[in-house]
Chains A and B, each alone.
Chain A
Amino acid sequence: MRHTRPWQQYFKLGVAALPSAKGLLPLVVLLGAWQLLQTGNSPYFPPPSDWWNGLMLLSKSGRLYPALSATTITLLLGLVLAVAVGTGVGLFIGVFPRLSRAIGPLLEFLRAIPPPAIVPVAILFMGYDERMKLTVVVLAAIWPILLNTSSAAERVHPLLLDVARSFRLSAVDRMRLIILPSVVPAILLGIRVALPVAIVVTLLVEILTSIEGIGALMIGAQRNFQSPQVYGLLVLIGLFGLLVNNIFAVFEAILLRRWPPKTQSENF
């Protein structure tokens, strides 16, 4: 693998991995037909052109961007915290197999509770503010990361640990040079699973509490029967999710270029 211009190579690989653009046909047809068929002012199914106008209205009134940035910041901050804490705790648990066996059932019990169900608990405990929103996002996103990290740390190949002992590595060096690099793919997988959960929880909080964010904007529009805005925001959220996922996919591919390619299973 001789890279002369690595970025060109990555770009080509990235583009090659995308599904054919022809695949967008169903969506285009759907939106096109919707646009053409909806000539009247149906409050339930406004045409896509109205959605755009609705969004422009929101943008001009200065409410769109603050909401978008509020949601994005919460998401990013929440994920960063979740990764920091989840990786740390996960490594700790994974390195002490007796500890992981002891907390196992407790974690399983907590894992069975779906993250959205935690939202009302947080609202009750912490009230209606940004701190609560961030806390819930962190709590929701931390699980997949923590569990993946601890399970991977436990499964570091015993031979690698033998190599560590054979070369008389200190515990710190062993963690730094062998265990941590070994679990990086698992951490990334955990983040990939945590992303949609974090998005759902963020939006859920915003919809339930009307704390600043896209979700709040959406439920507000619904309560005012501004259906074009509701649809417009839905599309916006869709694009947002798509963007976040793709940025992460690129980030993951770049980070994982040193690892043996594993077949990515679609069975999340």
Chain B
Amino acid sequence: MGSAEKRSDPGDRAISPAFECRLVTVEFLHKFSRKRIIEDISFLVRSGEFLTIVGPSGTGKTTLLRAMGGLTPTASGSVLVHGKKLDGPPDDVVIVFQDYSNALLQWRTVAANVAFGIERNLDRKEIEQRVHDALALVGLESNAEDYPWQLSGGMQQRVQIARALALRPAVMLMDEPFAALDAMTKASMQDELLRVRDRTGTSFVFITHDIEEAVYLGDRIAVLKGSPGRIEQIFDIGLPAPRDQLSTRQLPKFLEYRYAVHQAIGREHG
């Protein structure tokens, strides 16, 4: 399972899609009507790749993420992890929610929260090791015995990320995780996330409505648009790595991508 120390070799990536959506459609039954939220979503995510999904509100981004995470059933189409069809939340995929406050167990310490996903499956030594590694990855080692409600928003979100990382997942699904944070915390969290990806080789599917964030973080960007939501376009982001908040964002290419994505989304912002 993807606990590689470096990003996987580009040759690998073409062979093994970590994650794939094939013509995924999700509908909600409301009393007597059937509403299509998202339709014919298809894309794949390679190992170690960072895919951002961007779109205006109301296009079903959260629904898509929940379908990918196995929390919402699909009306048609399928979601595949390592080539296997999904039915229910899969082992190798973890969701990080936007509302960190209600996604963490406020009555447990940070360390106990991080251990939540693995505590039933592994022995004590292994659990302690993984918790320690995960906390180190997000820089919260000294807060292990604190309670989430004693920490700032950014720190709580990092706890949630650490909890996800402790599982050593192949894919991390993130639902606008930094939307509730202030600009400076957001920027440092973005860089931290990229560092985590570089060190663990995990694939990321990152949902956001912030176009600049999508371009900054992504190897590829999928634009979700319309009602029902459909993938409008997928961009390959050819920006150099490692990304830097100041220099990368000033590159002409960055601005071009930003413009292009903005165009793709169109003028009818929800």
The reply to whether B89 and A167 contact each other, CB–CB distance below 8 Å, is yes
The reply to whether A165 and B102 contact each other, CB–CB distance below 8 Å, is no
Q: B69 contacts the other chain (Cβ, under 8 Å)? A: yes
User: Given contacts A166-B69, A173-B120, is CB(A258)–CB(B107) below 8 Å?
Assistant: yes
Min Cβ gap A60→B in Å is 50
User: Given contacts A1-B146, A162-B97, A167-B116, is CB(A259)–CB(B71) below 8 Å?
Assistant: no
Q: B266 contacts the other chain (Cβ, under 8 Å)? A: no
Q: B264 contacts the other chain (Cβ, under 8 Å)? A: no
Report chain B residues within 8 Å CB of A162: 66, 71, 95, 97, 103
The reply to whether B99 and A165 contact each other, CB–CB distance below 8 Å, is no
The reply to whether A165 and B105 contact each other, CB–CB distance below 8 Å, is no
A residues 175-223 touching B (CB-CB < 8 Å):
177-178, 181-182, 184
Report chain A residues within 8 Å CB of B69: 166
Q: B111 contacts the other chain (Cβ, under 8 Å)? A: no
User: Given contacts A1-B150, A162-B97, is CB(A168)–CB(B88) below 8 Å?
Assistant: yes
Most buried by A among B120, B146, B150: B120
Partner of A159, one of B102, B116, B150: B102
Report chain B residues within 8 Å CB of A157: 102
User: Given contacts A1-B146, A165-B89, is CB(A160)–CB(B102) below 8 Å?
Assistant: yes
The reply to whether B88 and A259 contact each other, CB–CB distance below 8 Å, is no
Report chain A residues within 8 Å CB of B102: 157, 159-160
CA distance A168 to B103 in the complex (A): 15
Q: A6 contacts the other chain (Cβ, under 8 Å)? A: no
Min Cβ gap A173→B in Å is 7
User: Given contacts A162-B97, A178-B105, is CB(A167)–CB(B147) below 8 Å?
Assistant: no
Most buried by A among B116, B146, B150: B116
CA distance A261 to B150 in the complex (A): 10
Q: B235 contacts the other chain (Cβ, under 8 Å)? A: no
Question: How many residues on B have C-beta within 8 angstroms of the other chain's C-beta atoms?
Answer: 23
Min Cβ gap A253→B in Å is 15
Chain A, Cβ-Cβ closest to B112: A258
What 0/1 readout, one digit per residue, does chain B (137-178) give for beta carbons within 8 Å of chain A? Answer: 000000000110110000000000000000000000000000
CA distance A261 to B148 in the complex (A): 12
Report chain B residues within 8 Å CB of A236: none
Report chain B residues within 8 Å CB of A259: 106-107, 149
CA distance A260 to B95 in the complex (A): 24
Report chain B residues within 8 Å CB of A178: 105
CA distance A232 to B46 in the complex (A): 81
CA distance A261 to B60 in the complex (A): 35
Q: A163 contacts the other chain (Cβ, under 8 Å)? A: yes
Chain A, Cβ-Cβ closest to B148: A260
A residues 142-173 touching B (CB-CB < 8 Å):
157, 159-160, 162-163, 165-168, 173
The reply to whether B106 and A260 contact each other, CB–CB distance below 8 Å, is yes
CA distance A162 to B160 in the complex (A): 14
Partner of B117, one of A159, A165, A167, A258: A167
The reply to whether A159 and B107 contact each other, CB–CB distance below 8 Å, is no
Report chain B residues within 8 Å CB of A167: 89, 116-117
The reply to whether B105 and A181 contact each other, CB–CB distance below 8 Å, is yes
Min Cβ gap A31→B in Å is 44
Q: B94 contacts the other chain (Cβ, under 8 Å)? A: yes
The reply to whether B71 and A165 contact each other, CB–CB distance below 8 Å, is yes
Report chain A residues within 8 Å CB of B107: 181-182, 184, 258-259
CA distance A173 to B70 in the complex (A): 19
- Top 7 nearest A-B pairs (CB, nearest first) are A260-B149, A159-B102, A157-B102, A258-B107, A166-B89, A181-B107, A167-B117
Chain A residues with CB under 8 Å of chain B are: 1, 157, 159-160, 162-163, 165-168, 173, 177-178, 181-182, 184, 258-261
Extra A-B contacts (9), CB below 8 Å, given A1-B146, A181-B105, A258-B147: A157-B102, A162-B66, A162-B97, A166-B95, A182-B107, A184-B107, A258-B108, A259-B106, A261-B149
Chain B residues with CB under 8 Å of chain A are: 66, 69-71, 88-89, 94-95, 97, 99, 102-103, 105-108, 116-117, 120, 146-147, 149-150
